[in-house]
Structures are given as C-alpha cells and as structure tokens.
Structure 1
Amino acid sequence: MRDTSTKREARPAGMETADRIRDAAIARFGRDGFAVGLRALATEAGVTAGLIVHHFGSKDGLRHACDEHVLAVIRAEKTKAVTTGTAAMLFAQLAEVEQFAPMARYLLRSLQAGGTLAAELVEHMMADAQEYLAAGEAAGVILPSRDPAARTRYLAYQNIGGLLLWATMHLDDHPDDFAAAFRRYSQEITLPALELFSQGLFVDRSMLDDYLMYVPDPPTAGDADSTAS
C-alpha cells in the first residue's frame, strides 16, 4: 500500500503523536478486539490515556480515526492497482503485504464486531471501490459495466465475504504471526483472482444474453409452471 521507504515530510509533533497512537490502536484492536480499554491502548502507544482523549476525544473517536486511516490506505493502493494495471505494481504490493497485515486484521475485527461502525465502514469501502473502479475504467484498465454500482457491490461482497470466511477459520490460529498467515492467504488468491478477472469464467456469453432478455419481461409464476410442464 503506502511506500514507507521514502522520507516523510516534516510534520507537527502533535500530528506525529496522533499517528503513533492511531497506528498502535489499529494493531491492538486487530489483535485483541474492541473491548480493549484506553489505558491498554495508551500503554501500547507509549502515551497516557489523557493524551488519547486530547487527540481523539474518546475511544470511539480513536476508532473512527482508525477506520478513516485504513480506508484511506485501501483507497490509495486500490486506485494505484486499477489505474496502472502493470505486473510491476502488483509485485510491489505483494512484496509489502506484511506491512498491511495490521490493517487487514483491524478490518476483519471491525467486520466481525458488527454494529453501526462496521456497517458504516462497509458502506465507505463500497463508495471508495466505486470511485477507484471508475478510475480504472477511465484509465482503460477495467472494462465498463452495465451497472457500475451493482458490480461494485458484488465485488465488495465477494471480497469481504471471502476474507471473513478465511478469518473465521484462521484469524486466531496464528496470533503471533498473523502477517505470515496473511501473506499465505494473499498468495493463495492472487493467481485465481487474476485469471478470473483477466480471462473470465464462462466460455461464451450465452448465459448473460439469456438473462438480459429475461430481465425486461420475466415470466410470472404461472408462465414458469406452464413452461416447465
């Protein structure tokens, strides 16, 4: 996702502290869930609980900041991937996969926790996905869709659902080495995903054409029964 090998621009000390708190919270929430208290989060970040309140107002405020950061990184990296469309970009992102493991773990914990914050996070992810898929279309890397919003939602459901299924089976199997487990997951899905997205699945478009003919005037239950008989 982000290239952390380059030198960062100078930032106010307060912003650096806020970033450190946020990054520590992402790691701790991802590891232990959202029941973690402010004092534990403060210890993780090497600050006081009062300093967390100073920067974020509350634990919920801190979690919102974590959500925003994770979404921003996903959005930036996905946009690069779908507008560049090169193997070099893919290889660069795969090489850095461990770097993003804490954010992936955080995202999984948030989705598993459910509730309003998780629902908002998913909707933001879908809105971002529609934007970067549109950017991919504009760049000539992604094919246009008859219904961009529906395609985005389908891809989001598939990707999030697959990640959640994997997490249900493996998230807590490797508590001390989640990054390595996340790399293995990434390696498992990269080839079939690229093959499916690049070559398609069906050998022709007959099912799509039949469905497009069906959609404007679908048969009623009576019509379906008479057709079957």
Structure 2
Amino acid sequence: MRLADADDRTTRARLRDAAIDVFARDGFDAPVRTIADAAGVSPGLVIHHFGSKANLRAECDAHVLRVTRETNERALENGYGAGTFGGFAALLDTVGANGPRVVYLIRSLQSGGEMVRELFEHLAVDGEATLRAGVAAGSIRPSIDETARARHLLAQSVGALLVDVVLHPPDDWSDAAAIVQGYVDRALLPGAELAVHGVMADDSLLQIVLDYRKDHHDDC
C-alpha cells in the first residue's frame, strides 16, 4: 500500500471520529463545516472522503456498532464467559473513554428515523448473541424468550440513558465522559442489584403472565 493510501485512510478515520464527537455534542443537525472545523480540515475534504453528510453519518453508525460489538466481546473474554464477571471493574474504568460513543447513541435515539432503527436492530442482534454466550457459559440465566429479552434489555438500557439526560440535563454536551460517568454513578448500584436479585420474591407474577399469554393465544 502506498503511503498516500495510508494517510488517506488515517484522515478518513480522523474525520469519522470528529463527526462522532460533534454529533454527540450538537446532534445530527450539525453542519459539515462544524465537523470540518473540529477535524482541522476544509468542508470540501469531508465531502471528498464521504460524498455527503448522510454517508458520513452511516459510517459513524457502522463504527459505533463495531466498537460496541467489540466491547461486548471483550466483556465475555474478561469474565462474563467464565461466570465471574472479573473484568467488569476494568470496563468501568473505561467509561469516560466510551463517552462520545454512548452519547452518540442517545442522540441517535432522539433523532429517530430509519437509520436509527437499523442501528438499534443490529445492537439488539448483537446483544442477544452476548446473552446467549453468557447463558452457555453459565454466567447468565436462560430466558423463556432470548430474543425478546435482548430487545427489552436494550430498550431499558438506552431508554434509561435518555431519561437520565432529561432529568439531569448536561451543562456541557461537549463533555461526553462526564455525562456518561454521571449516569453510571447514579445507575450502577440499582442496575447491578436488579440484574442479580430481580424485584419479585417469587415467580407468581411470571406465572400469571405465562397463563395470560396462553389463554389469549399470544404468539409474541
């Protein structure tokens, strides 16, 4: 590969990362010029690499999805798969570094649209794969409906983030690390307790739901 090709790919990645930061900070109405200014280049160079703002956002989506997938895979490798969750503390130490990616997901949910639905569909599929791997390893309890559980947990986790920024509006959207760290500080303990112990003292509510589904021929 020629050096020019290597530089070109490095520039493209730098522009993508700058766009993720800007979209997280300003939302998806941010103009190309703002992204170019953040990357220290001309708007024309952004268009040269991506063709349009829509194409740039699609590449940002793909990158956020890929990094999220890799994070889940590392979680399995570092403890989830062994049933010890020994690597979870290390993941907590990277919360700040993951800030722009997480806030980007919040902005995506706020914006809506087909691109967002596709992104979250991919996240749901990846989340189900992660849960199934944990079930196979014995670290996660099996579900009556693994697909439904994965989608519900995704909705809960991302929805909780969205509610949190409404209840605790950031003073500075540019500080994605602080936004995510604040959420983790508030949600970590109740979230872990709920995941480990649940809420109900017995399974009577679950049985009522199962009977209801059976009686109403619910195939969901």
- CA distance 1:115–1:76, change in 2 (3 Å): same
TM-aligned CA deviation for residue 56 of structure 1:
1.7
- CA distance 1:213–1:176, change in 2 (3 Å): closer
Aligned to 1:224: none
Provide structure 2 residue ranges, at least 5 long, that are not aligned to the other structure.
Answer: none
- 1:77 and 2:107 matched: no
- Asked if structure 2 preserves the Cα contact closer than 8 Å seen for 1:82 and 1:133, the reply is no
Aligned to 2:134: 136
Identity of aligned residues (%): 42
Within 5 Å, give how 1:119-158 maps onto structure 2.
119-158=117-156
Residue 25 of structure 2 aligns to a residue whose secondary structure is helix
- CA distance 1:36–1:174, change in 2 (3 Å): closer
- CA distance 1:61–1:50, change in 2 (3 Å): same
Residue 162 of structure 2 aligns to a residue whose secondary structure is helix
Aligned to 2:102: 104
- What is the alpha-carbon distance in structure 1 between the residues aligned to residue 54 and residue 174 of structure 2? 26
- What is the alpha-carbon distance in structure 2 between the residues aligned to residue 64 and residue 96 of structure 1? 25
Aligned to 1:225: none
1:12 maps to amino acid: A
Aligned to 1:168: 166
TM-aligned CA deviation for residue 218 of structure 1:
4.1
1:111 maps to amino acid: L
Q: TM-score of the superposition, structure 2-length normalised? A: 0.86
Aligned to 1:33: 27
Question: What's the CA shift string for 1:81-101, capped at 9, x where partnerless?
Answer: 356224441111111111111
Residue 36 of structure 1 aligns to a residue whose secondary structure is coil
Q: TM-score of the superposition, structure 1-length normalised? A: 0.83
- Asked if structure 2 preserves the Cα contact closer than 8 Å seen for 1:42 and 1:49, the reply is yes
- Asked if structure 2 preserves the Cα contact closer than 8 Å seen for 1:25 and 1:41, the reply is yes
TM-aligned CA deviation for residue 30 of structure 1:
0.9
- Asked if structure 1 preserves the Cα contact closer than 8 Å seen for 2:26 and 2:173, the reply is no
CA RMSD of aligned residues (A): 2.1
Provide structure 1 residue ranges, at least 5 long, that are not aligned to the other structure.
Answer: 1-10, 220-229
TM-aligned CA deviation for residue 171 of structure 1:
4.3
Residue 213 of structure 1 aligns to a residue whose secondary structure is helix
TM-aligned CA deviation for residue 20 of structure 1:
0.7
- Asked if structure 2 preserves the Cα contact closer than 8 Å seen for 1:56 and 1:62, the reply is yes
**Alignment length (residue pairs):** 209
- Asked if structure 1 preserves the Cα contact closer than 8 Å seen for 2:99 and 2:179, the reply is no
When Rg is computed on C-alpha atoms for both structures, the one with the higher figure is 1
Aligned to 1:213: 211
Question: What's the CA shift string for 1:39-68, capped at 9, x where partnerless?
Answer: 221121122223222322211111011111
Residue 144 of structure 2 aligns to a residue whose secondary structure is coil
- Asked if structure 2 preserves the Cα contact closer than 8 Å seen for 1:79 and 1:135, the reply is no
- What is the alpha-carbon distance in structure 1 between the residues aligned to residue 145 and residue 125 of structure 2? 14
- CA distance 1:57–1:176, change in 2 (3 Å): closer
Residue 97 of structure 2 aligns to a residue whose secondary structure is helix
- What is the alpha-carbon distance in structure 1 between the residues aligned to residue 74 and residue 100 of structure 2? 20
